[in-house]
Amino acid sequence: MTNLIERSAAAYSCPLLIKHLLETALAREPKQEIVYRSQARLTYGDLRERVGRLASGLAKLGVRPGQTVAVMDFDSHRYLECFFAVPMMGATLHTINVRLSPEQILYTINHARDDIILVNSEFAPILEQIWARVEGVKSLIWIDDAGGAAKTSLPFAAEYETLLAAADPHYVFPDFHEDTRATTFYTTGTTGLPKGVYFSHRQLALHTLALRNAIIAK
């Protein structure tokens, strides 16, 4: 019985982390393509390289486990890269709801205690309106689908593609507890200010596995 218990404990040595979802896809279908509109086509191998570069670039800007990285972007390949890179570093990804009012966006940024914000150029005017009251943000990263330079008064520390191009793709993502917060976002439609909620690595991994099983069952 003792040996059985020891074997069972040893078998559960892999926490349910988002990085294992990416590793599995990469191992099984490295050439499977991810398509974002007409703007980007990436294989899983390409995605893993860009995720590593993004993590390395964010680390150079000072991102550490436990910090929060926010994104103001469309549902793009960049957002997918952030969805893996940020939580896999042990940080939390805050998806800023750009459909909220500027005042509500300001509240969520300050309430989430964002350390870095990645901003698509189309949403820069919103951030400009509230920037004087934003608290604690250490760096901004510029995103532009056309690859243009930042034309704003906001103090951007880097441009997304330039940051990735200069970064190391071989970032080593650590293991940590699967109940670590992975993502956060804010709900609306109720009285009062937006309400913050979050998902852990474990919750997201289990949701993915459940959805996969449901699709296969059909």
Give the tens place of pLDDT for each residue, 86-110: 999 999 999 999 999 999 999 999 9
At 131, list the tokens: 């920037």
Give the list of residues 6+ apart from residue 182 with CB closer than 8 angstroms, or none: 18, 87, 92, 93, 198, 199, 200, 201, 203, 204
Sign for the pseudo-dihedral over CA of 94, 140, 84, 74: positive
pLDDT exceeds cutoff 70 at 120: yes
> Residue 27 belongs to what H/E stretch?
helix 18-28
> What pLDDT does 37 receive?
83
Most confident of 7-21, 136-150, 194-208: 194-208
Q: Residue 50: phi, psi to the nearest 5?
A: -70, -35
Average pLDDT over residues 162-186: 97
Domains by residue range for the chain, with CATH: 19-217 (3.40.50.12780)
pTM: 0.90
Q: Could you read off the pLDDT of 56-90 as tens digits, one per residue?
A: 999 999 999 999 999 999 999 999 999 999 999 99
How far, in Å, are 119, 172, 173, 189, 196 from residue 201 at the CA level?
24, 17, 14, 26, 17
